[in-house]
């Protein structure tokens, strides 16, 4: 009987040890929910986590992005060509009118994600056209990927034989996120599980309850969206309001990434913030206009007496900037966790 009891005790001790290990692991697991309106840069942040906190992109993985990069480049020049008609802009040279027709025909016939020489030659000629450049300068009046100028300016490099996409090429590539993408990584003795939620706005109510109890929400808003025809800035504010004050996230830490600060810096020199916020009459500088946008978000917090929202200006394509900001976010999470345990 004694032997049986000691076996039971041993099993009990092992179970207790296992439960303690599981509890310790749970205590060190941080669930992050990435939210934001379309084109805000959520997927780019996820890619940065892979670069900064995992092993980055292997040669094979980089090569897999080639077709996406070629597709993005073609979609961009086609969007500009279509906008030439909408905005009634003339081509600088009559030959480019023919090139535009050839482009549309080729786009229908080539295999998606390829860049045959005939196509790249047409794109290179079009991109040099003064009318196309004038249309590109008015990109806020139609929908154009942020990466358009980056790829089109560098197309000769992208079409070299043996081309391997760089990390920056990968970061700037765009694929619509559908469903929920989870990324796991370790940092400062914590296990991170980051969830990037794609899909339609109408689907939000179907999944939002799944994330009750997440450690932290990172909400990403594009500063540069203020001058767009499809006013994503107001959509972003509306979404932030619904998330920030949602009953499921009453006690959840929220970090606001005001993203695309690099694009915003260039835009604010040309387009006044009052086109998005008519009541704004302050200086049209990066600092003042950026701060005004930040306040619009922070003022939506109905629980500001008990809940602080941390905000950062970010550039998701800048690895060093994201590393620095995410380090600060991790410190906030550690501090909040200690506070919850009564240790801070």
Is 29 one of the annotated active-site residues of the chain?
Answer: no
Judge whether 259 is annotated as a binding position: yes
78-87, 275-284, 327-336: segment of lowest average pLDDT: 327-336
| Predicted pLDDT at 34 | 93
- Size of the chain, expressed as the number of residues it contains: 344
| Predicted pLDDT at 293 | 98
Alpha helices in 28-115 (DSSP H): 42-53, 59-64, 66-86, 95-109
Is 44 one of the annotated active-site residues of the chain?
Answer: yes
Judge whether 17 is annotated as a binding position: no
Catalytic residue among 108, 156, 160, 200: 200
Decide if domain 211-323 falls under CATH 3.40.190.10: no
**pLDDT tens for each residue of 132-149:** 999 999 998 999 999 999
Number of CB atoms found within 10 A of residue 211's CB: 19
Pick the CATH number of 59-172 from 2.30.42.10, 3.10.450.50, 1.10.400.10, 3.40.109.10: 1.10.400.10
| Predicted pLDDT at 22 | 59
| Predicted pLDDT at 100 | 96
Average pLDDT of the chain to the nearest whole number: 89
| Predicted pLDDT at 208 | 75
**Rounded-to-integer distance, Cα 183 and Cα 33, Å:** 11
Catalytic residue among 174, 232, 252, 317: 174
Is 157 one of the annotated active-site residues of the chain?
Answer: no
Q: What global pTM score does this model have?
A: 0.86
| Predicted pLDDT at 343 | 44
Is 64 one of the annotated active-site residues of the chain?
Answer: no
**Rounded-to-integer distance, Cα 342 and Cα 344, Å:** 6
**pLDDT tens for each residue of 54-67:** 989 999 999 999 99
Residue 308 pLDDT exceeds 80: yes
Residue 8 pLDDT exceeds 90: no
* Higher pLDDT, residue 2 or 250: 250
Pairing of strands 180-187, 190-197: antiparallel
**pLDDT tens for each residue of 28-58:** 788 999 999 888 999 999 999 999 999 899 9
Residue 216 pLDDT exceeds 70: yes
Confidence bin at 11 (pLDDT 50/70/90): confident
Judge whether 183 is annotated as a binding position: no
Could you write out the DSSP letters of every residue in 117-173?
HHHHHHHHHHHH-HHHHHHHTTGGGS---TTHHHHHHTHHHHTSTT----HHHHHH-
Judge whether 2 is annotated as a binding position: no
Domain ranges of the chain: 59-172, 211-323
Judge whether 178 is annotated as a binding position: no
Q: What tokens does 188 get?
A: 């400062």
Q: What tokens does 59 get?
A: 């040669």
Judge whether 175 is annotated as a binding position: yes
Is 39 one of the annotated active-site residues of the chain?
Answer: yes
Q: What tokens does 175 get?
A: 């694929």
Residue 4 pLDDT exceeds 80: no
| Predicted pLDDT at 341 | 57
**Do 211-323 and 59-172 fall under one CATH topology?**
no
Catalytic residue among 99, 169, 196, 336: 196
86-95, 155-164, 247-256, 277-286: segment of lowest average pLDDT: 247-256
């Amino acid at each position: 009987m004694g032997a049986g009891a000691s076996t039971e005790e041993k099993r009990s001790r092992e179970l207790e040890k296992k439960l303690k290990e599981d509890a310790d692991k749970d205590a060190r697991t941080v669930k992050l929910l990435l939210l934001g309106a379309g084109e805000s840069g959520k997927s780019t942040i996820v890619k940065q986590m892979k670069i900064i906190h995992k092993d980055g992109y292997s040669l094979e993985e980089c090569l897999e992005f080639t077709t996406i990069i070629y597709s993005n480049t073609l979609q961009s020049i086609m969007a500009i060509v279509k906008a030439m008609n909408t905005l009634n802009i003339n081509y600088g040279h009559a030959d480019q009118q023919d090139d535009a027709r050839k482009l549309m025909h080729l786009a229908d016939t080539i295999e998606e994600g390829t860049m045959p020489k005939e196509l790249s030659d047409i794109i290179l000629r079009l991109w040099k056209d003064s009318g196309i450049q004038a249309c590109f300068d008015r990109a806020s009046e139609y929908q154009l990927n942020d990466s358009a100028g980056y790829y089109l300016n560098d197309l000769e490099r992208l079409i070299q034989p043996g081309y391997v996409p760089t990390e920056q090429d990968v970061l700037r590539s765009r694929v619509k996120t559908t469903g929920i993408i989870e990324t796991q990584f370790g940092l400062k003795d914590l296990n991170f599980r980051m969830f990037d939620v794609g899909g339609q706005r109408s689907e939000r109510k179907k999944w939002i309850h799944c994330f009750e109890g997440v450690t932290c929400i990172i909400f990403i808003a594009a500063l540069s969206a203020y001058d767009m025809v499809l006013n994503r800035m107001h959509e972003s504010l509306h979404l932030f309001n619904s998330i920030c004050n949602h009953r499921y996230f009453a006690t959840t830490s929220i970090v606001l990434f005001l993203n695309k600060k690099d694009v915003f810096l260039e835009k604010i020199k040309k387009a006044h913030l009052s086109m998005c916020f008519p009541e704004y009459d302050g200086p049209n500088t990066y600092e003042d206009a950026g701060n005004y946008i930040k306040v619009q978000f922070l003022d939506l917090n109905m629980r500001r007496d008990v809940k602080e929202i941390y905000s950062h200006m970010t550039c998701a394509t800048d690895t060093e900037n994201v590393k620095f900001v995410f380090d600060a976010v991790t410190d906030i999470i550690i501090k909040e966790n200690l506070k919850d345990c009564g240790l801070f």
